[in-house]
């Protein structure tokens, strides 16, 4: 469909809670357009592993994630198109790791997230069937990062210490 402009902080759309995406038979053309634009936009960036609808000015609960080619991914699920995703379980065990975001292009940060999560969603690749996946490691981190976008949360909101855990991107390679 189209490569869209990625919004950057402090655009207010990024801090807004998104509305549920409509996935009924009469709504699929519009939802499909948003999905296609997310995929085209994600594919236009090197090393991009996920993108959420509000990042392309769409305030609906849709995100795409594909960590398949990332060196930190272990047994990934491949491309996931998550429509109205919901976290149904987060592990108690957590890990702090570095995160980046296209909407905060000059920054990275150390962010604490659960090591594992179970997410339920309408599968945009499989005729909007309900799906549930158990995620671990880097893939769990990426999916939770994108779901945060749907709730108006940026990784800045999860940083324990702005002084110790936030970095300019050019200082981290």
User: pLDDT tens-digit profile of 79-107?
Assistant: 999 999 999 999 999 999 999 999 999 99
Indicate if 146 belongs to the active site.
yes
Q: Are 49 and 145 in contact (CB under 8 A)?
A: no
- Nearest alpha carbon to residue 42 among 95, 84, 96, 81: 81
Q: Is the pLDDT of residue 1 over 90?
A: no
What's the average model confidence in pLDDT over 140-164? 97
Question: pLDDT tens digits for 8-19?
Answer: 999 999 999 999
How many other CB atoms sit within 10 Å of the CB of residue 92? 7
Backbone angle region of 160, left / alpha / beta, with phi > 0 → left and psi within -120 to 50 → alpha: alpha
Q: Is the pLDDT of residue 173 over 80?
A: no
Listed by start position, the domains of the chain span 12-171
Q: Which of 58, 99, 139, 146 is catalytic?
A: 146
Question: pLDDT tens digits for 33-49?
Answer: 999 999 999 999 999 99
Q: For 49, how many CA atoms within 13 A lie in the half-sphere containing its CB?
A: 21
| Superfamily for the 12-171 domain | Peptide deformylase (3.90.45.10)
What's the average model confidence in pLDDT over 129-152? 98
Q: Is the pLDDT of residue 170 over 80?
A: no
């Amino acid at each position: 469909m189209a490569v869209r402009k990625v919004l950057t902080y402090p655009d207010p759309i990024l801090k807004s809670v998104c509305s549920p995406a409509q996935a009924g038979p009469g709504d699929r053309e519009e939802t499909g357009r948003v999905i296609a634009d997310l995929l085209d936009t994600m594919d236009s960036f090197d090393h991009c592993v996920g993108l959420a609808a509000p990042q392309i000015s769409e305030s609906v609960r849709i995100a795409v994630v594909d960590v398949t080619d990332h060196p930190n991914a272990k047994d990934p699920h491949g491309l996931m198109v998550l429509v109205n995703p919901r976290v149904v379980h987060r592990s108690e065990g957590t890990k702090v790791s570095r995160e980046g975001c296209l909407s905060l292009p000059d920054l990275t940060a150390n962010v604490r997230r659960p090591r594992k999560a179970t997410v339920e969603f309408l599968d945009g690749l499989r005729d909007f069937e309900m799906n549930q996946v158990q995620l671990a490691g880097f893939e769990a981190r990426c999916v939770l990062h994108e779901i945060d976008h749907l709730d108006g949360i940026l990784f800045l909101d999860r940083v324990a210490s702005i002084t110790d855990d936030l970095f300019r991107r050019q200082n981290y390679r």
